[in-house]
Amino acid sequence: MAAILYKYSMINSNNNGNSILKSLETSCCFLATLFPKVFCTLVLTWSLYVLLFIFPNYIKSSLNLTILNIIGIILYVLCIITYYKIILIGPGSPLDYPELRINNLNRMIDENPYNSNNDDPIDLPPESMIIHTMKVNGNQGYRYCTKCSVWKPDRSHHCSSSGKCILKMDHYCPWFSTCIGFYNYKFFIQFLSYVAIYCWFLFIISARILYKFITQGLFEDEILSLNLVAVLILSFAFAIAVSVFAIFSIYLCCKNLTTIEFQEKRCNYRGHANDERFNYEFDNNGKRKKLNTNIFDLGVMENWKSVMGPNWITWLLPITVATITTTTTTPIISEEDFNNGINFKVNEEIYTKYLHNAELQQQLNQQLSNYKDRLRRERQANMV
């Protein structure tokens, strides 16, 4: 009896220890995700404080000071709004759509879901997804995620940091503790742009103040604020770094590429060669050459509008342009909707070439199969 009680107490002790470790891990993860939010908010707010309460000590013109304060406040508000919109709206996930969930994942893995001879065929993705899907997996089937038990639309990827699949995944950003994807990509570009402008704005003002402070000999009678020096240094550093990211993100947007697709196209990894098996055409001399664009490239302006919205108001302001079609509270997929992260418009010219190449490849495979069958029959006839 004593041995049983001892064993039971040891089990409880181990369970309590595991529970404590689990709680500690959860707390650490929470603090890790909380830190970038607090840091970014405090840095932006501190910079606004310096603009409103430190800069006036060195700027004598009340009109100039008022104009600078208004511009600074507007940029600060835009930065804060877009920062938290990125976090609160999130990137979107196929898991948001009940139609894309797979209820028989084990059969998907063990059997061929596209075998028409099955007495009990496995369900295919919803027609609203199939009709526009361009990419397939290595087995020439529609892509699905074994971790999320969900169908994966074009441009979706599983994020190990978020623990789920992301619609039109661009990358995971630790500064937001979330993924950048279909629904928050617009605000990500705007945030980078606002922050870059805000940093250059602060740098120019603080640099001008410091220049006058030195050239006019004000250092003999006044003490230069350390806050001003800190803003000068930090704003310049952040302006350079963020501007590079902003320009790169705008470039990808104009090309209708995500960061993942850019890397796949550049480095040719993750089986990207399979996705581009029909990405070629023949020149006038009959030589095969690779197509120089991706199938989602609709032209610079259309690419830009597909992310940033239809007009300059949505380009400049943090207004949501991507919406989820719902019935009551359940998201649904609309076949006509290209603004949901499931379906994407394609370049019709490239799409036509893809289809033509696929038909040629199918004809070639059929001819090769017929040729092999004929050779086999001839060998069998000769043996007789």
The Cα 185–Cα 176 span in angstroms is 12
According to DSSP, residue 329 is labeled T
| Among 167, 161, 162, 172, residue whose Cα is nearest residue 182 | 167
Q: Which of 28, 159, 173, 254 is catalytic?
A: 173
CA distance 273 to 264: 9
Burial class (CB in 10 A: 0-12, 13-18, 19+), 254: middle
Rounded CA-CA distance 207/44 in Å is 18
Output helix, strand, coil percentages for the chain, rounded to the nearest 5. 60, 5, 35
Q: Is the dihedral of CA 235, 238, 239, 240 positive or negative?
A: positive
Buried b (16+ CB within 10 A) or exposed e, 281-311: beeeeeeeeebeebbbbbeeeebbbbbbbee
Q: Any catalytic annotation for residue 267?
A: no
Q: Nearest Cα to 332, choosing from 322, 319, 342?
A: 342
Q: Which two tokens stand for residue 204?
A: 């120019």
CA–CA gap between residue 141 and residue 311 (Å, rounded):
38
Q: At what angle do helices 2-49 and 62-89 cross, to 10 degrees?
A: 150
Residues with catalytic function:
173
